[in-house]
Structure 1
Amino acid sequence: MKRINILPETTHIPVVNHKRRRLWMIFSIIVGISSLITIVIITKIILRKQKTTTTESTLISLFTITTTSAMTEFRRFKRNNETIYAIWNTTASGNSTPSLPGEEIGTYYPSEPPEAVFDGNLNTIYTNHGICSAHTIELSKLCGVNTGLYFTMNSKLFVLKRFYIAVRRHSLQRDPLTITIEGSNNKISDLAFGYSWTLIYNGDSGLMENQWEVSHYEEMEVNNSSPFRSYRFLVSSIREKSTSVSYAEFVMIGQYID
């Protein structure tokens, strides 16, 4: 029987290299897994950055809101027909001695009353002679010392947090250098007595350095968290020898309590 060759003589059966195919499959799997891992890592990094950015933005936003809110809580006291009492021969925790208009010892110039410090006008001033008078020949650094004012707010309780004093330049020697500030919640009839007052500030007026511009002043911090309805302001020293103490504005900054 004749054997028939079904393959052409030029046809060759390829020899399959199983080892090479296996290595190629392993390599493909490794590349695939590596790509997947890389994608997962990159995705996590992106998500983490987005989360961090969102958190930081939220924190910044909250901080901004909190800061703005805190700042808007502070307001400047504006006089609303409050009676301002001028005083002299008075020290912190001591009884208040009334000061009257005049040019003698214990008086203030009639045209320069205590109300001037709350009128928002730098051209008006409060001048008090204290133990001296307008006619004193021998100038002294004690003139105008231990003078000041007190008043009761018609509005809500007020927490004093900061203040500044503005002065006029024609009377540099009369600048108050050190002051005291006290608060009280006692009734008005008791405010003449020292026991009514609580000391909340004793120190620099913010005018220690020479102030050559009327608008230049230093805002001072008051370490106080107590609300008061009444406040007393006293001068404890002046810049140079003079016949009195003078200042244009006493600006109180703080929070009103409902």
Structure 2
Amino acid sequence: MHPTVARLTLKGLLGRRRTILLVALPVLLIVISVAVRALSGQDDSTSADILSGFALGTMVPIIGVMAGTGAIGPEIDDGSIVYLLAKPITRPTIVLTKLVVAICVTVAFAAVPTFIAGLALSGTSQRIAIAFGIAATASSVAYAAIFLLLGVVTRHAVVVGLVYALVWEGLLGSLISGAKTLSVQQWSLSLAEKIAANGVVDSDVGLPTALVLMVVVTVGTTWFAGQKLRSLTLAGEE
């Protein structure tokens, strides 16, 4: 971790326009949750459907896109990354620092609101709120790493990330058997299934498989992002 890099990254991520976008989906989730609870009362099945479909399936990956790609992509696109690379900071340290900031932002704007929405929907019933809060935290880590890598390898990281989030995670990952095994949403649902009581949450991926894949993807994408950043050279470097 490098404190200066962390501070600059956080400042960039929490600019006025981006903050509005980061706040919009969590507020919508909480408003929907409060409205559903007020109109329909407590229903654990409905709570799980909202939290798995909207929170884990849509909100967390989209916020992950904004935080992960925004942590490094704009600097590469506008060329300002060269000023950072010229500093005596190793490039893996830069990647790791930006990843930690992206994870913190994703957790703050996705996992915490998911937990709050769970409380609004079901209180402490069946441990639904804590189950989905932990699941959203775990998926926040994986998404931040995946989308940070996209920010390093392509100038169209936001577009590619949104396609991945909405098509793969939001659609194919919930419908096609093979895609489910490679879905971060399904990995996080396996955690929620383990924590929640009485089978109210269901995942198509076993917990051991989900944990292994989540760790492999997070570590692998972080390592590869560091390697790709090494390949960026400054003028005059050999």
Taking structure 2 as the reference length, what is the TM-score of the superposition?
0.27
Higher percent of residues as strand = 1
Q: Pick the structure with greater CA Rg.
A: 1
